[in-house]
Amino acid sequence: MARPEGEREIIARIRQAAGSSGDLLLGIGDDCAVYKTPPDRVSLVTTDTMVEGVHFDLAWHPPLELGRKAASVNISDIAAMGGLPRFALLSLALAPAFDGRWLDAFMVGFLAVLAEHGVALIGGDTVQSGHESVLAVTVLGEMAEAELVTRKGARPGDVVLVSGFLGEAAAGLALCRLGLAHEPDWQTLVAAHLDPVPQVALGRALAVSGLVYAMQDLSDGLATDLAHVCTESGVGALVMADKIPLSPVLRQAAEICGQSPLDWALSGGEDYQLLFTVGEQQVAELCTLVREQTGRELFAVGRIIEGQGVFLEEAGQRREISYRGYEHFR
Amino acid sequence: MARPEGEREIIARIRQAAGSSGDLLLGIGDDCAVYKTPPDRVSLVTTDTMVEGVHFDLAWHPPLELGRKAASVNISDIAAMGGLPRFALLSLALAPAFDGRWLDAFMVGFLAVLAEHGVALIGGDTVQSGHESVLAVTVLGEMAEAELVTRKGARPGDVVLVSGFLGEAAAGLALCRLGLAHEPDWQTLVAAHLDPVPQVALGRALAVSGLVYAMQDLSDGLATDLAHVCTESGVGALVMADKIPLSPVLRQAAEICGQSPLDWALSGGEDYQLLFTVGEQQVAELCTLVREQTGRELFAVGRIIEGQGVFLEEAGQRREISYRGYEHFR
């Protein structure tokens, strides 16, 4: 390592604030972390990498919110299976410009999200990078095997649902790029980009219900993420443009930015809402159950069909949008 | 993601070659990987990040060997607890210059090491980076809780042992920097730098023996790694300069490079041999057992003492070397 003392100080500081858990036998400070998984549970693991200048821009992403987001986008993957997040590892490759104050604020945000979800930081490393900083996070979770919801179970006839407004994060990013991040009107959208909320409680409720056939989180936009579900399940999907939940403030921002709100929803990505399919006969039951348990509304946006490909229906016209957005096919 | 199609192709190619395991319920291709841990075992997890230009130099590190090393240095952390490596995740942030052929060769090397140790690749991601490439690997392992060997158990009076020649990787790096990587005389040293071997079988044998009180792998050099063991155990250590195993070829290379072979051994790092402590009365028993089970020789290099700090004794003189090398104190 190029900076052994700096690295040791950073690790000591992080170790103090890392949190704990009854199942954790050994956290930060050895070659490995060591933990127990209850015997009747399966383990989940996911990893996500964020690169400065590609996945985040320090010009408008404050360190605390970036720390929160680095934790949240990984916890979101656990939520997308219906799991409980338990442990996290953080690998930081930091450009020379990063100082201790930046790192402190980043860690405050990162550890706050972990604490909100009962997750302990159990390992990682801190290395120097030459030009851009790279943040790689791994999150471990657990759940009962019987409750696991994968991308593979969608069947023709299923209704496709999403758990909230789409396109908000893409709109927030566009507003940040235009230098409008601090205007009061856009705070909901900007927060959706800077500090997305992983849907852990909702994911658990959906998985425990036993009514959901396939699920994933919306990280790359509906067009791409639904295509993943369809590819894994061996089916196609039809999305109704007029059913996609777009908020009034999103439509206002789209006008300001000269963008299509539907394109943001389909291809913008980073909303971290849940996308899932349910048998037609069970939709009402699930919506009632979710409303009672979490106070949340669900939005039916389309249907699983035979064949392959994701299609958008708008004003009686169908076009394929698999792995793409909306404007790409104009 | 900036390159959704390229990314999907890369993931599809990696997924095909990722390997499998009976305990793996779900590998690459969903939000999380899902696996089972046998009920009487604890789980181990470790992560390590390698940055282009800091931890590796593409001028002399061929992609296949770099892929091998990225896997090996993480598996080495599992070996350092006495565990069995089981699953790996790979996060690649790749600079624009990386082409498919480079990535193919990297993956061949990475997956070959996983296969040598029965490890399945179960997740990861591939993103674009601006300038340098960053490789972050996470490896999961398992073992019986009773066999776990941490850094914490060293006691005054213990003998400090290492599992092989030290300084070889540092010498190999120096030779690569001098453009001597292809000379036949130096192949052992160059291989120690480009393609280190994780000591999984030896780590298992040491852990199962029940005779080892503290252990870690030698990634940062004896001076720093022994200081970690001492700090965690609340003890000090005394290393005898003339007991450190230095190979004849290392001494030759040191002359060529104008370096101190002892400095390479103490502060060069990346040898990935094991460092461990054993009660004085058990050293002979352990050496016999290890020789019978693995054919390996062990080297006693010093002793755990009361107090704190790592000291080097050379020609009757003692100097502190905690977290440092040898030349730093000349």
Q: How many CB atoms lie within 10 A of CB A263?
A: 19
Q: Which residue has the tokens 């064949």?
A: A307
Which strands sit side by side in the sheet containing B120-128, from one edge to the other? A24-26, A33-35, B41-51, B134-144, B84-94, B120-128
Q: Which residue has the tokens 């996945």?
A: A55
Least trusted range by pLDDT, from A321-330, B95-104, B173-182 = A321-330
B-chain residues near A47 (CB < 8 A): 89, 91, 123-125, 136, 138
Is pLDDT at B223 greater than 80 in this prediction?
yes
Tokens describing residue B241: 């300069």
A8/B contact by beta carbon, under 8 A: yes
Tokens describing residue A263: 């394109």
A-chain residues near B32 (CB < 8 A): 44-46, 77-78, 80-81, 83, 141
Q: Which residues, other chains included, contact A314 with Cβ-Cβ below 8 Å and sequence gap of 6+?
A: A240, A241, A242, A262
- Structure-model confidence comparison of residues A176 and B5, the more confident one: A176
Tokens describing residue A150: 């994968």
- Mean per-residue pLDDT, A12-34: 83
Least trusted range by pLDDT, from A119-133, A244-258, B78-92 = A119-133
- Identify the helix (H) or strand (E) that includes residue B257: helix B248-257
B138 in Cβ contact with A88 (< 8 Å): no
B-chain residues near A136 (CB < 8 A): 47, 49, 91, 93, 134, 136
pLDDT at B328: 44
B46 in Cβ contact with B138 (< 8 Å): yes
* Interval B83-139: pLDDT, tens: 999 999 999 999 887 778 899 999 999 999 999 999 999 999 888 888 889 999 999
Tokens describing residue A202: 């909702």
Pairing of strands A236-240, A299-305: antiparallel
Taking a contact as any Cβ pair under 8 Å apart, which residues of chain B between 264 and 283 contact chain A?
A: 269
Name the residue in chain A with its Cα closest to that of B216: A31
Tokens describing residue A217: 């989180």
B141/A contact by beta carbon, under 8 A: yes
pLDDT at B232: 95
B200/A contact by beta carbon, under 8 A: no
Is pLDDT at A330 greater than 50 in this prediction?
no
Rounded to the nearest 10 degrees, what angle do helices B63-79 and B200-209 cross at? Answer: 0
A229 in Cβ contact with A150 (< 8 Å): no
A112/B contact by beta carbon, under 8 A: no
Taking a contact as any Cβ pair under 8 Å apart, which residues of chain B between 142 and 171 contact chain A?
A: 145, 148, 150-152
Q: Which domains does chain B have, with CATH numbers?
A: 4-145 (3.30.1330.10), 159-329 (3.90.650.10)
* Interval A30-54: pLDDT, tens: 999 999 998 899 999 999 999 998 8
Rounded CA-CA distance A302/A311 in Å is: 10
Measured between CB atoms, which of A49, A131, A151 is closest to B136?
A49
